[in-house]
Amino acid sequence: GREGRPAFRDLQGRFAKANRQLLELRRNEMRGLGRSLVGYMQDEAPKDKGNFARNHRFRTFNSGDKLGFTISAPFPLKTFITEGTKAHEIRPKGQGYPLRFTVNGQTVFAYRVWHPGTKPNPYDERALERWRPEAAKALSRISNRWIETATT
C-alpha cells in the first residue's frame, strides 16, 4: 500500500528544505572563494604602490539561478601594472606646481620627467592559478551535496 511511500506534501517540504540548504551552502562557498581569491591577489600584488594591494575587494551576487562574485582593484593602476606601460612623459596636473619626488634621498622638483615605462606584472594571473584548485574543490563540494540531496 501507501504506507511505504511519503505523501506529496512531505516530499515537497523535504525538497524546499534541501533547496534552502543548498542555496546557503552555495552562498557560503562563494563568499569563501571570493575572500580566498582576493587574498591571493593581495599577496601577489606589488607592495611598493601605496595601498594598491590592500584595495582589492570582492562582492558576491545572486541573479536568478546564478550565484558568483566580482573582484575590484584600483583602476587604472591595475591595468598599468598588469599590462605594463610604454616610456612616457609625465607633467604636473596643476599649472604652476612642479612634480616633487625623491632621488637617492634628495628631494627633486621638475616640470616634466621622462618615465622609462614598466614591464607587465601579471600578478592577477598568478593569483588565479593559485586559487583554481580551491575553486575546483568548492564546486565539487557543491555538486556532491546536490547529488546527496537529490538522491536521499
Higher pLDDT, 20 or 10: 20
How large a percentage of the chain has pLDDT more than 70? 87
| CA–CA distances in Å: residue 56 to residues 46, 64, 67, 120, 122 | 12, 26, 20, 19, 15
Helix 123-151 × helix 8-44 angle, to 10°: 170
At residue 15, the pLDDT reads 67
Task: Render pLDDT for 122-141 as a digit per residue (tens, 0 to 9).
Answer: 999 999 999 999 999 999 98
- DSSP characters for 92-124? -SSTT--EEEEETTEEEEES-EEE--B----HH
Per-residue pLDDT band for 152 (boundaries 50, 70, 90) equals low
Which is nearest to 52 in space by CA: 8, 94, 82? 82
Q: Is the pLDDT of residue 2 over 60?
A: no
At residue 11, the pLDDT reads 60
At residue 66, the pLDDT reads 87
Task: Render pLDDT for 16-47 as a digit per residue (tens, 0 to 9).
Answer: 677 788 888 889 999 999 999 999 999 999 99
Kindly report the pTM of this predicted structure: 0.77
Peptide bond into 76 cis (omega under 30): yes
Q: Is the pLDDT of residue 70 over 90?
A: yes
What is the rounded CA–CA span in Å between residue 105 and residue 35?
39
Which is nearest to 148 in space by CA: 2, 45, 22? 22
How large a percentage of the chain has pLDDT more than 90? 64
Length of the chain counted residue by residue: 152
At residue 77, the pLDDT reads 95
